[in-house]
Structure 1
Amino acid sequence: MGTERNEADRRRRRSQLLLKQSFAELMREKGFTAMTIQDITDRADVHRGTFYAHFPDKFALLEQSIRDKFLHMLGRELPPDAGWNPEHLRVLVRIVLEHVRSLYGRCSPIDTINLLFERSVRDELAELLQHWLQRLRADQADWTIHVDTMALMTSWSIFGAAVQWSKAYEDISVDEMTHRVVAVLAEGAGRFAFIDKKM
């Protein structure tokens, strides 16, 4: 019984890999709008039913592809034991900046793709930051803000800075922007702006 389950899992992983590879090839050749599910299944040499066993539509496959690419980038640049420290935070911010610029640097991106891209990257970023902050919190008994709130706000801060930089701040290098974002995250805005102590 265990052997049958292992074989079924192997077939499932293989089918999913074929679909993802076909999707990636067709994205380069035809673009997202022009490709159809039939194109994807023909290229992967699987039935349409196999596609629907894995993904409800091509948008779900796109979203999974975006997540996979982002996670691959993180895995390539960050060590397995990465956590909330200045060096790992700097690497993470730089990856997000470059990944966001790779989408917004293209001509006329499709709104649907933008939305999927943004949601996928923000979700994965928030999940990673939540993991880092939970580990950090174990050493910090006096935190008054929930970890999930901190992770969510931090992920939006990093992602928002990346979007704004990629669209409007071409004169700022990725190194400089990384430095600015990490400085604000690590040291807080209070160091860079006047804060009324009475507030």
Structure 2
Amino acid sequence: MQRVGNGKDRRHSRSQRLLKQSFAELMREKGFTAMTVKDIADRADVNRGTFYEHFPDKFALLEQSIRDKFIQLLEREIPPDYGWHPEHIRVLVQTVLEHVRTLYGRCSPIDTVNPLFEYSVRDELANLLRRWLGQFRADRPDWPVSVDTMALMTSWSIFGAAVAWSKGYEEISVTEMTDRILTVLTEGTVRFAGDPSADQIR
């Protein structure tokens, strides 16, 4: 029985890998809007029923492909022992900036690709930040804001700044933009506003 299960799992993994590969090829050749589920299935040499066993539609396949690419990027650039530390945050922010700058401009602002790209990257970024921030929960049980809320707000801050910067909000280098985002994340607005109690917070 175990062998049958393993064989089914391998076939499942192989079909999904072929579908993702076909999708990537068709994205380069035809673009997302022009391709159909039949195109993807034909290129992968599977029937449409097999496609729907893995994905409900081509939008789900697009979302998964975006997530996979971003996760692979994070795994390549962010060592597993990293956490909420200024230098580690710097690496994360710069990675997101460069990723958004590279990919965001390839999609038309009215294309459905952009919302899916934004949602997928932001969600995976929040997942990583949730793990990092969760390390402090035992040390700060009195902190009034939940880890989920902090991760969500921080992911929006990083990604939103990256999108604005990639669109030419300001003509500054990735290093300078990274420094600005890092300052906001690590020092916040309290010191900027000149609150005399800010030094006690640090």
Bin for the TM-score computed over the shorter chain = over 0.9
CA deviations over 1:94-114 (Å, ceiling 9, x no partner): 121122222332363443111
Counterparts of 1:137-148 in structure 2, within 5 Å, are: 137-148=137-148
Moved more, 82-91 or 132-141: 132-141
Q: State whether structure 2 residue 82 is matched by structure 1 residue 86.
A: no
Q: State whether structure 2 residue 133 is matched by structure 1 residue 133.
A: yes
Aligned residue pairs total 197
Counterpart in the other structure of 1:21: 21
Give TM-score scaled by structure 1 length.
0.92
- Between the aligned partners of 2:69 and 2:107, the Cα distance in structure 1 is 20
Give TM-score scaled by structure 2 length.
0.91
Query: How big is the shift at 1:139?
Result: 2.8
Contiguous gaps of at least 5 residues in structure 1: none
Moved more, 166-175 or 88-97: 166-175
CA deviations over 1:69-120 (Å, ceiling 9, x no partner): 1001000001012211112211111121122222332363443111101111
- Between the aligned partners of 1:20 and 1:29, the Cα distance in structure 2 is 14
- Between the aligned partners of 2:18 and 2:192, the Cα distance in structure 1 is 50
Q: Which amino acid aligns with 1:73?
A: L
Partners of 1:103 and 1:109 within 8 A in 2: no
Contiguous gaps of at least 5 residues in structure 2: 198-202
- Between the aligned partners of 1:80 and 1:13, the Cα distance in structure 2 is 25
Partners of 2:41 and 2:51 within 8 A in 1: yes
- Between the aligned partners of 1:85 and 1:34, the Cα distance in structure 2 is 44
Partner SS state of residue 136, structure 2: helix
Partners of 1:22 and 1:40 within 8 A in 2: yes
Partners of 1:133 and 1:147 within 8 A in 2: yes
Partner SS state of residue 112, structure 2: helix
Q: Which amino acid aligns with 1:176?
A: E
- Between the aligned partners of 1:194 and 1:24, the Cα distance in structure 2 is 50
Counterparts of 1:173-184 in structure 2, within 5 Å, are: 173-184=173-184
Counterparts of 1:1-199 in structure 2, within 5 Å, are: 1-106=1-106, 108-195=108-195
Distance 1:3 1:10, change over 3 A: same
Give me the CA root mean square deviation: 1.7
Partners of 2:107 and 2:114 within 8 A in 1: no
Partner SS state of residue 191, structure 1: coil
Q: Which amino acid aligns with 2:99?
A: H
- Between the aligned partners of 2:195 and 2:163, the Cα distance in structure 1 is 27
